[in-house]
Each structure stands twice: as structure tokens, then as C-alpha cells.
Amino acid sequence: MKFKVNGHEVFASTGGRPFDKKKPLIIFVHGSGLTHMTWVLQTRYFAFHGYNSLAVDLPGHGLSSGKSLKSIEEMADWVSDVIDAVGHKEASLVGHSQGCLVTVECTSRYPNKIKTLSLMGGAGAIPMNPELLSLAENNDPKAVDLMMDWAHGPAGHFGGHPVPGLYHINTGTMLAKTRTIQNTLGVDFRACDNYKNGFEAAKKIKCPTLSILATDDKMCPIKEGKKLASLIDGSQVDIIDNCGHMMLLEEADRVLTVLKKFITTNYPPLSS
């Protein structure tokens, strides 16, 4: 569906169901340079089980208009604005990678609005490799190729997608090349590199929180995810073996199972 936030058109996938204001809202926030498509193996389930599932394209990404936001703090405010724009007072947030920084910051800023927080491949800070950052800011497609290499674990490099016939490294590459690299990935990487408030923001979070981490994550190493989780009161942690940073594709079923249990327990769906 499309709606406006701060005068710019926003696209969000509703998981194949019409938006229904009576249902509780889950917002999925994608990682650097990516789009709502990364969530396809999670969003449809929630959309068909009593939730409004909104996998947003951040401004300037995917099918959303406007320019990419330059800081994690701006993105956090923007997520809060999305909740208002679709006529809800509260939401459950799910973030991947950069989306974790955004949702952590958003939850700390708007504690009354955010009911649960689910983090995948998260960290309190994501300092960028300077060469990777430079490649992305200079619009070099090699930045995407490197990101996809590092983002997939050793097993993920062979493929074996849960959806028959999909080859996820190439799919991820295509998603990251949907728009101009320097305007999406370049801006996002710089925003991640600049963001320093993750650990402080985490300390303020009081809502139920889940961290899904992967043993072979090279983009946000598991020790960083554990460090972040340790700062959040009562945070649950689920660790996936033999999996990389793109856990939402590499181990989509496992991620959905864990996410389903956590969200339905802490933020129940509208019963039919």
C-alpha cells in the first residue's frame, strides 16, 4: 500500500492482505540498501494471522519516494511517523541489521508506542569497513557484491533457499541494485557508521525484546548482538547455527517460527 509521510509517498507491503485498522500493527524495517522484499518469508504469515503487516521501503528505497534519510535518528523518527500516518497508536517493530539500529533508537525515543521489539542480526553499533563505505558512496557495484558475500554464511553461499528455485545471493544483489547504489547503500552505510547511540538507547528499552543472532554472521558478529541484548532488560536471545547475517532468507523458517512465538505471546493478534 501507499501512504504519505512528511509529504513523501511511502510504499509498504501488507503481506497480501488489505490494511485493517482494527488489527495490531507490525512494522518490518529492512537493512542497508535493501527493500521490503527481504521480509517476504515473514510478513505474509503475520498478515494472514490477525495482524497488519507493514514491510516498509525506507524513503528513497524500493518503491518509496523522497531521498534516503541520512541518520539513524531521522529514520527512527520516520518509523514513528509511519505509525501515525497509518492511523495507529502503537506497533510492534521488527528490524534487520541497520533496521535494528533504527528500531532500537525508535523504541527508546517512543517507549509508549512500541509494544515489542524483534532484532535480527543486530548490534549496538555498526562501524563500516572504510573501503566498503567508500565503494558504496562512489556508486561502485562491487560494494553490493561484497555486502552479499559477507552477509551470507558459508552454508548460505551454496544456496538451498526455503522457497524452491530462488537463489538468494543473486536475489539480494538485485534488491540492493534496485536504485542508485550511492543514494541508498552509500547513504545507509554512512548513517550506520555515524550512529553512536545504540548502547545507550538499548538501556532505555523496557518492552519485550527478542534478538535472533547467527553464528556465522560477519556483518554484525554474534558477540556484538549479545552485547546489545545484554543491555536490554529481559531480552530473549535465539541463536541460529551455521547461518549468516541474512538469516531472514538463509533460515527463513526458523526465523518465522521464533518470531511467531515471540510476537503472538507478547502482542496478540486480533482473533478472528
Partner 1 sequence: MSDKKKELKPNTYKFDTLSLHAGYQPHKNAGSRQVPIYQTTSYLFDDVDHAAALFNLERGGHIYSRISNPTVGVLEERVASLEGGTAALATSSGMSAIFLTVMTLCEAGDHLVVSSQLYGGTVNLFRLTLPKFGIKCTFVKPRDTEGFKKAIQKNTKGIFGELVGNPGNEIMNMPEIVKIAHDAGIPLMVDATYQTPYLCKPFEHGADIVIHSLTKWMAGHGSSMAGILVEGGKFDWMQNDKFPTMTKPYEGYHGLSFAEEFGPTAFTMKARAEGMRDFGPCLSPQNAWNVLQGIETLSVRMKKHCSNAEEMVKYLSNHESVAWVSHPSAPNHPDAELANKLLPNGKGSMIAFGIKGGKDAGVAFINNVKLASHLANVGDTRTLVIHPASGTHSQMDEATLKFAGLSHDMIRLSVGIEDIDDIKNDFEIGFRAARKPRLVSNQ
Binding stretches for partner 1 (CB under 8 A): 13, 15-18, 35, 37, 40-41, 44-45, 47-48, 63, 129, 131-132, 135, 142, 145-146, 148-149, 155, 157-167, 169-171, 174-175, 177-178, 242, 252-253, 256
Measured from the Cβ of residue 229, the count of other Cβ atoms closer than 10 Å reads 21
Q: Which is nearer to partner 1, 134 or 197 (CB)?
A: 134
Distance of CA 108 to the CA centre of its chain: 16
Q: How far is residue 94's CA from residue 177's CA, in Å, rounded to a whole number?
A: 23
Query: Please, what is the angle between helix 98-109 and helix 72-85, to 10°?
Result: 70
Q: How many residues does the chain have?
A: 272
Q: Which is nearer to partner 1, 42 or 211 (CB)?
A: 42
Q: Which is nearer to partner 1, 112 or 272 (CB)?
A: 272
At closest approach, how far in Å is the CB of 52 from partner 1?
15
Asked if 107 and 34 touch (Cβ cutoff 8 Å), the reply is no
Q: Which is nearer to partner 1, 43 or 107 (CB)?
A: 43
CA-angle at 221, arms to 220 and 222, nearest 5°: 115
Q: Which three cell numbers stand for residue 214?
A: 547467527
Q: Which three cell numbers stand for residue 161?
A: 533457499
Q: Which is nearer to partner 1, 65 or 197 (CB)?
A: 65
Compute the half-sphere exposure of residue 109: CA atoms within 13 Å on the CB side of its CA.
18
88: which residues sit within 8 A by CB, 6+ positions away?
21, 25, 52
At closest approach, how far in Å is the CB of 44 from partner 1?
4
At closest approach, how far in Å is the CB of 236 from partner 1?
22
Asked if 53 and 19 touch (Cβ cutoff 8 Å), the reply is no
Q: How far is residue 186's CA from residue 33's CA, in Å, rounded to a whole number?
A: 8
Q: Which is nearer to partner 1, 94 or 202 (CB)?
A: 94
